[in-house]
Structure 1
Amino acid sequence: MFLAGVLALLYGFRLLQNECGGRGHQSLDIPHDNIARQENQPSLGLEDSLIQLYRSIYRLPEQNPNQERLQGIPIVAFEYDSAGRGSLLLENFFIKLLEISHPDQTTRLQHWYPEPFAWNGGFSEKRPSFSRILYYGDASIQNDRISGTLRQLLQTDFGGFGPGILPLSSLMPCDPKENSRQCAIRKEGAWQEISAVSSMRQGNYGILSSYLSAPFYQASPPSRQETGTVRIELPLFLQHHDGLCLEVFAHKDVLANDIHVSVQKQPSSDREPVPAASTLTGPGQKRFTYALPRDFQNISFQMKFKRNRNLYALALNDTTGICVDNLCLPESKGRVFSVNNRRFLTDQLDLANAGLILYQFGYQLPAPIDSSRTEEACRQFRFQLLQELSYIRSLLPATPVIVVGVSDFSEHFGVSTAFSGHRPERDLSSEALRQIQKEAAFQTDCVFWNPSRALEACPPTIDKADLTAMLFYQALMDAYRLFLKKELRTMSLQRAKSLELNTYSRQSR
């Protein structure tokens, strides 16, 4: 009996000797469905099958091929609060990556890790094999440069396609001439844009802090248009892809026949209508999904102008894998969460399958008039940052948030860092700003990432936007590898302990 127990424990210990472990899994009684075995099969044979299963699920990803391009630049790891709460929340996103990588193991993974899937049970039709990374920021992420590279890296490794949420709002500066991978957006008709920046009060604004609505009829002339149109011109790389979908986030009163979606394959060809493939209704809002055909150049979205016909967002992406959404909102000054009513934003983020939020604001803060007001400006920035991070943490308690520190290279993006301009004390001011971001992140159980030191060593051969994305991806994958190693060891030890208990129980009879 004792020898059997020792053998079982050694079988678990032999996998990883040097990793720490323990998330606290659901139970030692792990389901063994889909594992071929017979009633009289020896316990060690079953253990071999389970170990192979664990090794398959927790397989380490390959090293980032872009590491060679980093040319010896040091990798900047994520930073966590002393209690490690931010690290545990980040593991919830890693569990989503496991689910995306192993869609055939969804039931088993949800049994092993119930917490990330139980916080909001209102949507039973959430996509298990799809997750969004919402990248909120100001000038540094303009024109989808950093997020575009990050999106390409993640979608190469975990699947997915498309740019995600499109820049419908006038708050989102977008210039396709600056990035050939961006879609050109043109709005037609008497759309009324309702934004949190203009109203300065809480409301149902949604992910973009603004939405498009039917015009106020009493203020419209009799010859008003009855529909509003959004035309989307696709870049070449998007035109020939299978599986691309247009997702529409709208008010709950919007009906399927209020929307007309069509595509055009050539400038001279007729438009082809696209029916809605699915509709998911949540409290106060809906998500329509249109499966787009292959080989087309542009999309036309039309919606009838009626009461409550509000359009919150349009997204162009696959329904599997990862999507990184570029949400550049410089005029918001970072107030992108607290302007929304709590339940409404929670449900919309859930409809969008938000799995991770990146928050990078600070470039567009007004510089103080003189040095005596710097301390006051810092206090205001700290207060607003804590307010926003606390708000999103309360809305999505199981969704990790990574605060990205401002860098000292904002002039590379065409703007000046807060408090700095081009004065010699620029670095000191930026460092003070990053310290505020770091403290606020730790107080609200968020993760902090500071790329500035690595950017200082950036050679002229690498674009700083690309470098920032590659450094972040490397930090994310390093943390993911540590998670996989820890979980492989933890699960193996649990199986070894379970086998020891089962052996003891049989021999005690």
Structure 2
Amino acid sequence: MQPKKILLFIVGVLIALFAMTFFSRYHTTASGMVREGIVFGNNAMLRYPTPDILGMLFKNTEKENKRLDELIKKTEGSIVDEKTKTLTENDSLVKDSLHKLESNTEGKIYYPGNKIDYLKQLKAKLHQSSCQIVHYGDSQIEGDRITGYVRNRLQLAYEGGGPGFFPIKVVYNQNSIDINTTGNWVRYAFFDRKQRRTVKHDMYGLFATYSRFTPYSKDTASMPVSKASFTLKPSKKSYARLQNYTIFGLHYGNAHSKISIRVYEGSNLLRKDTLISDGKYHNYKISFATTPKELRVELEGRVSADFYGITLDAARGVRMDNVAMRGEAGRIFTRMNYENYRQMSVDRQPDFFIFQYGGNTIPYMKTDQQLKEYVEGLIYNMNWVKRANPKAMFMLLGPGDMTTSRNGKRLTYPFLPKLNELMKEEALKNGIAYFSMYEAMGGENAMITWVKEGMAASDYVHFSPKGTKLISEVFYQCLHNDLAAVE
């Protein structure tokens, strides 16, 4: 065979292969991954690169690498370690590190209306005798991640102590408190759609979850008396401030029959009581002079109440509740019972809400209209919460960078940058501040470098423990420096 014919054959094959890329499109799989290929019928797909592969071959990631390097250098020495035990050491660490990040240089916080007015109002709330913050989010904050770090930072700066809210039935790793339970506790979460269908009411309260020690039954009169308990100890794994609390709260509702309660500090019986059984929301409170080394609560009754959770707080300063909702996108609030939610809000008196959502929707976004509907729904839910808490301030934390596989390479999900901009725009229109975690990480394709540097998990979505501290420190310092700039 002549060399020219061989060459023509090879060139022809290459041209044909390249031409096939124009028939390839991006498709979202059932698992949320973006795949490129040529679809045949309803289910069959031939995995094949799109024309975008030419641009990817020459894409330069040097900028993203430098971005993370600079971020690490600027926060070096600022990260507060859980093993730091004394307030003096931590205060010194905070003061020495404040100059390392200029306000809004990494991951800008955008403010609605008059920035100075917003910051003055927030600063006044943080300086109150007590300032209650509620941090709602998806799995990025599960186990008190991000919240725990920011809470510690704020409590060091404005006083405060304790881990705030946590459920009785813990279903994920919890480092902020040591809790052990006995009895048949089951957690019910409003953001668990399958579980929600089995419950005949929508009263899940401020924390969108509750725990019970007896199952639901139509024939409650024949149910045997059940006993259950939980024991609380300060966690040695948590920050020192979180290990100091003097106010215990047991939040419950939907109690329609007698439930006895005994509270022990060690072996000493502190209280013997009966919970209120009028079906409404109540907070069973106990105050202490100093943090109890061990609290044990014993409950007994035929039918359990809905126990919305426990709160442990200091008498003064910042309190911050971590409310993690795995798999949620922040649009469940309007479907909950408003009066029940409002009653808990009146008792807890939140001053500042932080919403952190968006990541769970990104893999499924295919059109600009879907983005618009999602963001409008999220803001609508935030305004619903605002209606129940008219004096509270609000901030939205957008999702960080997330990558998917396209043409054999990892790239930022196509609609993530658009979502970031739309969330920012709609938040500011509605009087809500916005922190761009996407920008803080370095923008497009930054997650690739975060994973390489051990700052994020191999799923290219969640932060590693090191990365969690880094992004938390960036957020805190941006907020802190902005607050420090106003009188």
Question: TM-score when scaled to structure 2?
Answer: 0.64
Would the aligned equivalents of 2:255 and 2:277 in 1 still touch at CA under 8 Å?
no
CA distance in 2 between partners of 1:244 and 1:283 (Å): 28
Higher relative CO (Cα under 8 Å, sequence separation at least 6) belongs to: 1
In 2 relative to 1, CA 142–199 (structure 1 residues): closer, same or farther, beyond 3 Å?
closer
Residue in 2 that maps onto 1:163: 163
How much identity, in percent, do the aligned residues show? 16
- The RMSD of aligned alpha carbons is 4.2
Residue 465 of structure 1: SS of its match in structure 2? helix
In 2 relative to 1, CA 281–229 (structure 1 residues): closer, same or farther, beyond 3 Å?
closer
AA at the equivalent of 1:229:
S
- 321-330 or 331-340, larger mean C-alpha shift: 331-340
CA distance in 2 between partners of 1:226 and 1:144 (Å): 31
- 443-452 or 329-338, larger mean C-alpha shift: 329-338
1:241 to partner: Cα distance = 6.0
Residue in 1 that maps onto 2:484: 481
Residue 418 of structure 2: which of 427, 432, 435 is its match?
A: 432
In 2 relative to 1, CA 94–224 (structure 1 residues): closer, same or farther, beyond 3 Å?
same
| Paired residues, number | 370
Residue 147 of structure 2: SS of its match in structure 1? helix
Residue 182 of structure 2: which of 184, 188, 201 is its match?
A: 188
The structure richer in helix per residue is: 1
| Per-residue Cα deviation, 1:450-476 (whole angstroms, up to 9, x for no partner) | 133332399959832112222222222
CA distance in 2 between partners of 1:420 and 1:76 (Å): 26
Residue 319 of structure 1: SS of its match in structure 2? coil
Would the aligned equivalents of 1:134 and 1:358 in 2 still touch at CA under 8 Å?
yes
1:404 to partner: Cα distance = 0.5
Residue in 2 that maps onto 1:210: 209
In 2 relative to 1, CA 230–219 (structure 1 residues): closer, same or farther, beyond 3 Å?
farther
Give yes or no for the alignment of 1:453 onto 2:460: no
Residue 381 of structure 2: SS of its match in structure 1? helix
Would the aligned equivalents of 1:89 and 1:399 in 2 still touch at CA under 8 Å?
no
Would the aligned equivalents of 1:150 and 1:473 in 2 still touch at CA under 8 Å?
yes
> Which residues in structure 2 correspond to 1:245-256 (within 5 Å)?
245-251=247-253
Residue 465 of structure 1: which of 458, 464, 468 is its match?
A: 468
1:329 to partner: Cα distance = 0.6
| Per-residue Cα deviation, 1:345-402 (whole angstroms, up to 9, x for no partner) | 122123113111110112223623xx8x344542442242122122122222221110
1:156 to partner: Cα distance = 0.9
Give yes or no for the alignment of 1:443 onto 2:429: yes
Unpaired segments of 5 or more residues in structure 2?
1-92, 456-465
In 2 relative to 1, CA 137–169 (structure 1 residues): closer, same or farther, beyond 3 Å?
farther
CA distance in 1 between partners of 2:407 and 2:260 (Å): 49
Residue 361 of structure 2: SS of its match in structure 1? coil
Residue in 1 that maps onto 2:131: 131
> Which residues in structure 2 correspond to 1:386-405 (within 5 Å)?
386-405=379-398
Residue 374 of structure 2: which of 363, 368, 381 is its match?
A: 381
Residue in 2 that maps onto 1:67: 98
Residue in 2 that maps onto 1:98: 127
Would the aligned equivalents of 2:133 and 2:353 in 1 still touch at CA under 8 Å?
yes
CA distance in 1 between partners of 2:262 and 2:146 (Å): 33
1:153 to partner: Cα distance = 0.8
| Per-residue Cα deviation, 1:414-433 (whole angstroms, up to 9, x for no partner) | xx78x999964416432122
Would the aligned equivalents of 1:146 and 1:469 in 2 still touch at CA under 8 Å?
yes
The structure richer in strand per residue is: 2
Residue in 1 that maps onto 2:85: none
AA at the equivalent of 2:476:
Y
CA distance in 1 between partners of 2:283 and 2:104 (Å): 43
AA at the equivalent of 1:183:
I
Would the aligned equivalents of 2:259 and 2:301 in 1 still touch at CA under 8 Å?
no
| Per-residue Cα deviation, 1:232-288 (whole angstroms, up to 9, x for no partner) | 343126799665322111228589983222233xxxxxx2223399x9999932222
| Per-residue Cα deviation, 1:290-340 (whole angstroms, up to 9, x for no partner) | 235757554322333356722112012212111222111123332352232
Would the aligned equivalents of 1:367 and 1:420 in 2 still touch at CA under 8 Å?
no
CA distance in 1 between partners of 2:247 and 2:168 (Å): 17
CA distance in 2 between partners of 1:159 and 1:229 (Å): 32
Would the aligned equivalents of 1:243 and 1:291 in 2 still touch at CA under 8 Å?
no
AA at the equivalent of 2:437:
P
In 2 relative to 1, CA 284–64 (structure 1 residues): closer, same or farther, beyond 3 Å?
farther
AA at the equivalent of 1:67:
L
AA at the equivalent of 1:262:
Y
CA distance in 2 between partners of 1:421 and 1:298 (Å): 56
> Which residues in structure 2 correspond to 1:254-403 (within 5 Å)?
258-264=260-266, 271-275=267-271, 284-292=280-288, 297-305=293-301, 309-365=305-361, 367-368=363-364, 373-375=366-368, 377-403=370-396
